[in-house]
Structure 1
Amino acid sequence: MKKTFLFFLLISSSFVFSQEEALVFFADKENVAASIANPITILSQEALDRKSAQGIEIDERDVPLNEAYKAQINSIAGITVLAKSKWLNAVYVRGPYAAIDNLSNFSFVTEVEFMDKSLNRTFPRIAPRDKFEIENERRVDYNYGSAYNQTDMIGVDQLHQSGYDGDGIVVAFMDNGYPNVLSNPAYAHIRNEGRLLGYYDFVERIENPNGSGSHGAATLSDAAAILENPNPDLAFVGTAPKASYYLFVTEDGYGESPVEEAYWVEALERSDSLGVYVTNTSLGYQDFDNPAYNHLYEDLDGFTTIGARGSNAAFDKGMINVTSAGNDGNGFGYIGSPADAPGSFTIGAVDSAGDYVDFSSYGPNYAGVIKPDVMAQGRSAAIVNQYGQVDYSNGTSFSSPIIAGAVASLWQAVPNLKNDVVMQAIRESADLYNNPSYNMGYGIPDFGIALNALLQMSTDQHLQETLFALYPNPVSSEIHVSFPKSVSQAEFSLYNVLGERVMQAIISQLKNSLDVSQLPSGMYIASITSNNKTTSFKIIKE
Structure 2
Amino acid sequence: MKTTLLPAYLIFSFLLLVAGLPARAQAPRYVISFTGRQGTPYRLEEPAAYLSPRALQRRDRQNIAIDSTDLPVNPAYIDSVLQTGSVQLLYALRWQNGVVIRTSDTAALGKIQSLPFVRSLEASARRAAPAAGEQPYIITTNARINGTSGLDYGNAYTQVHLHEGEYLHDRHLRGEGMLIAVLDAGFPSVDYNRAFAWLREQQKITATRNFTDNSTNVYGYGEHGTQVLSILAANLPGEMTGTAPEAAYILLRTEEAGAEQPVEEMNWAAAAELADSLGVDVISSSVGYNTFDNPAFDHTYAQLDGRSTTAARAAAMAARKGMIVVNSAGNEGNLDWRYLLTPADADSVLAVAAVNSQGQVAAFSSYGPAADGRIKPDVAALGVGTAFVNVNGAVSSGNGTSYACPVIAGLVACLWQAFPRRTNMEILQAVKASSSQHATPDNRIGYGIPNFRAAYDSLLKMDLQDTAYIRTQLNNQSIKVFPNPFSNQLHIYYRSASQAMVHFQLIDASGRLTRHWQATPQGTYSYITQQTGLASLPAGFYYLRMVQGKEQEVVKMVKY
TM-score of the alignment, normalized to the shorter chain, above 0.5: yes
In 2 relative to 1, CA 55–180 (structure 1 residues): closer, same or farther, beyond 3 Å?
same
Residue 452 in 1 paired to residue 461 in 2? Answer: no
Of the three residues 56, 59, 79, the one matched with 2:64 is 56
RMSD over equivalenced CA pairs, Å: 2.6
Q: Please, which runs of 5 or more residues in structure 1 have no aligned partner?
A: 1-17, 117-125, 230-234, 466-542
Match of 2:136 in 1: 137
Contact 2:160 2:166 in 1 (8 A): yes
Q: Deviations over 1:508-540 (max 9, x none)?
A: xxxxxxxxxxxxxxxxxxxxxxxxxxxxxxxxx
Contact 2:129 2:260 in 1 (8 A): no
Q: Deviations over 1:107-138 (max 9, x none)?
A: 2123456667xxxxxxxxx992435x121311
Residue 210 in 1 paired to residue 223 in 2? Answer: no
Match of 1:376 in 2: 381
Match of 2:352 in 1: 347
Contact 1:326 1:360 in 2 (8 A): yes
Contact 1:257 1:290 in 2 (8 A): no
Residue 68 of structure 2 aligns to which amino acid in structure 1? E
Match of 1:387 in 2: 392
Deviation at residue 20 of structure 1 after TM alignment: 7.8
Local SS of the residue matching 2:330: coil
Of the three residues 318, 325, 328, the one matched with 1:321 is 325
Q: Deviations over 1:358-394 (max 9, x none)?
A: 1111111111111111000001101111222110111
Q: Please, which runs of 5 or more residues in structure 2 have no aligned partner?
A: 1-25, 144-153, 471-560
Q: Deviations over 1:42-89 (max 9, x none)?
A: 111111122212211111111110233234334556876544310111
Q: Deviations over 1:444-500 (max 9, x none)?
A: 0101111111122234435769xxxxxxxxxxxxxxxxxxxxxxxxxxxxxxxxxxx
Local SS of the residue matching 1:408: helix
For residues 21 and 292 of structure 1, the distance between their equivalents in structure 2, rounded to whole angstroms, comes to 18
For residues 170 and 361 of structure 1, the distance between their equivalents in structure 2, rounded to whole angstroms, comes to 28
Of the three residues 38, 46, 55, the one matched with 2:54 is 46
Match of 1:405 in 2: 410
Local SS of the residue matching 1:382: strand
Contact 2:127 2:259 in 1 (8 A): no
Contact 1:314 1:343 in 2 (8 A): no
Q: Deviations over 1:159-211 (max 9, x none)?
A: 11122111111101011111111211111122212212121211111122214
What count of residue pairs does the alignment treat as equivalent? 434
Of the three residues 259, 262, 287, the one matched with 1:258 is 262
Match of 2:209 in 1: 200
For residues 287 and 143 of structure 1, the distance between their equivalents in structure 2, rounded to whole angstroms, comes to 39
In 2 relative to 1, CA 52–459 (structure 1 residues): closer, same or farther, beyond 3 Å?
farther
For residues 127 and 76 of structure 2, the distance between their equivalents in structure 1, rounded to whole angstroms, comes to 38
Match of 1:288 in 2: 292
Residue 323 of structure 1 aligns to which amino acid in structure 2? N
Of the three residues 302, 306, 313, the one matched with 2:310 is 306
In 2 relative to 1, CA 464–88 (structure 1 residues): closer, same or farther, beyond 3 Å?
farther
In 2 relative to 1, CA 404–68 (structure 1 residues): closer, same or farther, beyond 3 Å?
same
Local SS of the residue matching 1:346: strand
Match of 1:423 in 2: 428
Local SS of the residue matching 2:260: coil
Of the three residues 188, 192, 195, the one matched with 1:179 is 188
Bigger Rg, structure 1 or 2: 2
Contact 1:30 1:65 in 2 (8 A): no
For residues 208 and 99 of structure 1, the distance between their equivalents in structure 2, rounded to whole angstroms, comes to 29
Match of 1:365 in 2: 370
Local SS of the residue matching 1:402: helix
For residues 309 and 127 of structure 2, the distance between their equivalents in structure 1, rounded to whole angstroms, comes to 21
How do residues 393-542 of structure 1 correspond to structure 2 at under 5 angstroms? 393-462=398-467
Match of 2:338 in 1: 333
Local SS of the residue matching 2:384: coil
Match of 2:10 in 1: none
In 2 relative to 1, CA 308–102 (structure 1 residues): closer, same or farther, beyond 3 Å?
farther
Residue 67 in 1 paired to residue 81 in 2? Answer: no
In 2 relative to 1, CA 102–207 (structure 1 residues): closer, same or farther, beyond 3 Å?
closer
For residues 41 and 65 of structure 2, the distance between their equivalents in structure 1, rounded to whole angstroms, comes to 13
Of the three residues 22, 35, 39, the one matched with 1:27 is 35
For residues 143 and 197 of structure 1, the distance between their equivalents in structure 2, rounded to whole angstroms, comes to 31
- Bigger drift between 151-160 and 42-51 goes to 42-51
Local SS of the residue matching 1:248: strand
For residues 44 and 393 of structure 1, the distance between their equivalents in structure 2, rounded to whole angstroms, comes to 37
- Bigger drift between 281-290 and 389-398 goes to 281-290
Deviation at residue 309 of structure 1 after TM alignment: 0.9
For residues 99 and 198 of structure 1, the distance between their equivalents in structure 2, rounded to whole angstroms, comes to 33
In 2 relative to 1, CA 30–458 (structure 1 residues): closer, same or farther, beyond 3 Å?
farther
TM-score (structure 2 length as normaliser):
0.72
Deviation at residue 32 of structure 1 after TM alignment: 6.0
Residue 226 of structure 1 aligns to which amino acid in structure 2? N
Residue 128 in 1 paired to residue 133 in 2? Answer: no
Local SS of the residue matching 1:35: coil
- Bigger drift between 181-190 and 317-326 goes to 181-190
Contact 1:457 1:463 in 2 (8 A): no
